[in-house]
Structure 1
Amino acid sequence: MALRQMPRGAQRMTYLGCATAALAGLLGAASPSQAAPDRDDGVLVVRPGESIQRAVDAAPPGGTVVLLPGVYRESVRINKSHLTLRGAGSRTVIVPPTAQAATPCGQAGDGICVSGAAGAPLTDVHLQSLTVGGFKRNGIWASGTEGLTVHRVAARRNGQWGIGLEKSVHSLLRDNLAVDNGDAGIFLANTAEEEAGALDTRGTVVVENRLGRNRIGITARRLRNLLIAHNTVIGNCAGVFVVGDENRPKAGMLTVRDNNVSRNNKFCPATKRLPFLKGSGVVLTGTEDSLVQHNLVRDNRGNSPLSGGIVLFPSFVKATNDRNLIRDNVVRHNAPADLINADPKGQGNVFIRNDCRTSRPPGLCR
């Protein structure tokens, strides 16, 4: 499956294995704990074989850690605000260490962790131009952040999420590539492990990302006040999932617009949370007051209960979809139908001016 509409930098990205092989010769004898980075006026430069973690720990407020091209075998924990971690795109590759990771981030199986504390979020952290792949759990994991930016990051072949956020507000995820991850390419939630009402993200934006060959392209779970726009979501088991439940406040008040969600026909087996997935475009479950508009949703075909172009489905804890507006989308060649409202108890959902041919129940394409 070829991901289209990719900027020039992303087109040059190769698979993690190829990048690792090509850059393996740059791994020097010095271990990350032995070599110190160069420092100049708040900019710390790290070379392959030197420790990213040591540079992060030494960086002053407002500092920038620059990773030169090469392979870095470590996990990195960021627990300070006002920091930028920047690499050289596909030429800067972070992979798991060969030995047991010493940091809590590495022990959890994550590549880069951005971790704030309860009541004291990390602010103004920026991750840019990196490739993170092959980690047991997540490529990037952020919890308790405000104003986090993830830009031009490639997250490949991680066991769970490519880029995952919880308890985070006012985030920007832009122009990233997430492929071949075990669950969602991009995952956003109020909390990943606990039950709670939906979080107001205060305008988090997920824009211009490319998601392919994941279980789900983008998952937004128990969130409010979020924009998902101009993303290319192709070749996953499911494209975009907006998920709510019975907790209050309910998930919703978000927008999914101007995305290309096509050919998400990979098969993924059932989990404890979901049935098997194949052929799902945009799915709303347990969501209220949300807008789905101006999307291209085509050629998503399958026979899962969640298959179809744009699907309203009652959550598995019987939370309904209410007052959602699905309008002005191009929804073609999806199966079992282009538009599906499988939530008869939902109230006030409106389908209008969608360019489609089939619907369940009939009449939604008028």
Structure 2
Amino acid sequence: MAAGLGVLAPTAAAEAGRRVLPGDSIQDAVNYARPGDIITVMPGTYYENVLITKRLTLRGFGARTVIKPPVTAVTPVAPAVPPASGTAPAPAAPGAAKAPAAATAPSGRALACSQADSGICVMGTAEQPVVGVDIRSLTVSGFKRNGIWASYTDRLSVQRVISEKNGTWGIAQERSTRGLFRDNTARDNAESGLFIANTVDREGGATDTLGAVVRRNTLTGNRIGVTVRRVRNLSVYGNTLTGNCGGIFVVGDEGEPGAGDMTIRNNRIHENNKFCKGNSRLPDIQGVGIVLTGAEETVVRSNDIRGNVGASPLSGGILLFKSFVGATNTDNVIRDNVVRDNKPADLANQGTGTGNRFVNNRCASSVPAGMC
């Protein structure tokens, strides 16, 4: 009937989306893609930075699709006019992210991505956030700063990604809402394996993430497994954190609204005993399970936290730590956790915060005594 009415059925190329082969440029495919396109990156190693500023799916083959830093830094640039849907751009030289001949001048966002030495950047603006980007089954490795960096996004999904050996964060997001981070592996990154913040370049109250989810990720060998800084309204659950200097950090400050209103549950946080030297913001970090500092109305429940041992002021199983900027922990609930063999204590409540409750935790030691 459709053919009889002159309606053309979708072509096989359109149904399949766009495919990037070794020697092609992922950035070219992204530039030419229309909103909603699926870009499949075939197994191979690609040496480039990738900037995404529109709704699309970027997917690969897990450990077999690897994105590494370009040998010579090249700024990704958006084309002036994309070709017809389903038409692949001409291949670029191996390892390059060369702009098409008809490309416009580099945008500020493109420069921010390439000059920041990040692998994949998803970047919107305050006036027009990028909505609905899906990144999955890729490996980003060895970038000077971040494996994946996102700013001004909504409903960003990062799933089954390996982000390793990057100089700052493995997977990071700021100024964003409703993110989903699931089934990823972040390992051996210099700072947090997974980092969610309000902003990274200025002060301000906590961002309401509108229900961001950090679920079933494996975080190992990082400075900190998961850091949620100056944000509200999210859940961190079902993750495995081991071999980091610290497990989970919830960080707030004196800004309004305060950080917190989140749930941290059903995580396995074992033997995060790597030693990380302190810096201007934090003391030495070693043997840290979960730290709340400057947090409010956060529920920490049903986690298994064992064998986190160190001599840092932050060491131990679950710690409510006094904030360096004077923000207090208030109205947090620590309940139904198994907290064993952590030193100097399984549970600790420091500072002058009020309304914090420790309920039905299975532990052997606490500071002050009597919370087990």
Which digits, 9 at most, give the CA deviation of each residue in 1:96-151, with x for residues without a partner? 01112323212211000000011211000000000001000000000000000000
* Partner AA of 2:74 in structure 1: A
| Aligned counterpart for 2:194 among listed residues 186, 190, 203 | 186
Aligned pairs for 1:244-255 within 5 A:
244-255=252-263
Q: Is the radius of gyration larger for structure 1 or structure 2?
A: 2
Contact 1:122 1:146 in 2 (8 A): yes
Which digits, 9 at most, give the CA deviation of each residue in 1:62-106, with x for residues without a partner? 1011000000000000011x2000001110000001112323212
Find the aligned partners of 2:169 and 2:51 in 1 and give their Cα distance: 17
- Cross-structure match for 1:107: 115
- Cross-structure match for 2:134: 126
* Partner AA of 2:236 in structure 1: I
Report the CA distance between 1:40 and its aligned residue: 3.3
SS in 2 for 1:106: helix
Report the CA distance between 1:47 and its aligned residue: 0.4
Find the aligned partners of 2:214 and 2:127 in 1 and give their Cα distance: 24
- Cross-structure match for 1:93: 66
Find the aligned partners of 2:300 and 2:340 in 1 and give their Cα distance: 15
| Aligned counterpart for 1:301 among listed residues 309, 321, 327 | 309
| Aligned counterpart for 1:314 among listed residues 322, 328, 340 | 322
Query: In the alignment, is residue 277 of structure 1 matched against residue 285 of structure 2?
Result: yes
TM-score normalized by structure 1? 0.88
5+ long unaligned stretches in structure 2:
1-11, 77-110
Contact 1:116 1:122 in 2 (8 A): yes
Report the CA distance between 1:41 and its aligned residue: 4.1
Query: In the alignment, is residue 354 of structure 1 matched against residue 354 of structure 2?
Result: no
Which digits, 9 at most, give the CA deviation of each residue in 1:136-182, with x for residues without a partner? 00000000000000000000000000000001100100000000000
- Cross-structure match for 2:269: 261
- Cross-structure match for 2:32: 58
- Cross-structure match for 2:144: 136
SS in 2 for 1:228: strand
Which digits, 9 at most, give the CA deviation of each residue in 1:207-250, with x for residues without a partner? 00000000000000001001000000001000000000000000
Aligned pairs for 1:14-93 within 5 A:
40-41=14-15, 43-80=17-54, 82-93=55-66
| Aligned counterpart for 1:286 among listed residues 294, 307, 310 | 294
Find the aligned partners of 2:347 and 2:74 in 1 and give their Cα distance: 47
- Cross-structure match for 1:19: none
Find the aligned partners of 1:268 and 1:52 in 2 and give their Cα distance: 35
Contact 1:240 1:281 in 2 (8 A): yes
Contact 1:42 1:59 in 2 (8 A): no
SS in 1 for 2:34: coil
- Cross-structure match for 2:159: 151
Aligned pairs for 1:194-233 within 5 A:
194-233=202-241
* Partner AA of 1:253 in structure 2: D
Aligned pairs for 1:158-169 within 5 A:
158-169=166-177
Aligned-CA RMSD value = 1.0
Contact 1:189 1:222 in 2 (8 A): yes
Deviates more, 1:41-50 or 1:211-220: 41-50
Report the CA distance between 1:272 and its aligned residue: 1.5
Find the aligned partners of 1:356 and 1:131 in 2 and give their Cα distance: 38
Find the aligned partners of 1:252 and 1:314 in 2 and give their Cα distance: 15
Find the aligned partners of 1:123 and 1:316 in 2 and give their Cα distance: 35
Find the aligned partners of 1:84 and 1:363 in 2 and give their Cα distance: 51
5+ long unaligned stretches in structure 1:
1-37
Which digits, 9 at most, give the CA deviation of each residue in 1:263-320, with x for residues without a partner? 0000000112101100010000000011000000010000101101000001100100
SS in 2 for 1:40: helix
* Partner AA of 1:92 in structure 2: T
Contact 1:232 1:259 in 2 (8 A): yes
- The number of residues matched between the two structures is 326
Find the aligned partners of 1:39 and 1:318 in 2 and give their Cα distance: 58
* Partner AA of 1:84 in structure 2: T
Structure 1 pair 132–350 and aligned structure 2 pair: CA distance change class (3 A): same
* Partner AA of 1:62 in structure 2: G
Find the aligned partners of 1:121 and 1:361 in 2 and give their Cα distance: 46
TM-score normalized by structure 2? 0.86
* Partner AA of 1:88 in structure 2: F
Contact 1:93 1:132 in 2 (8 A): yes
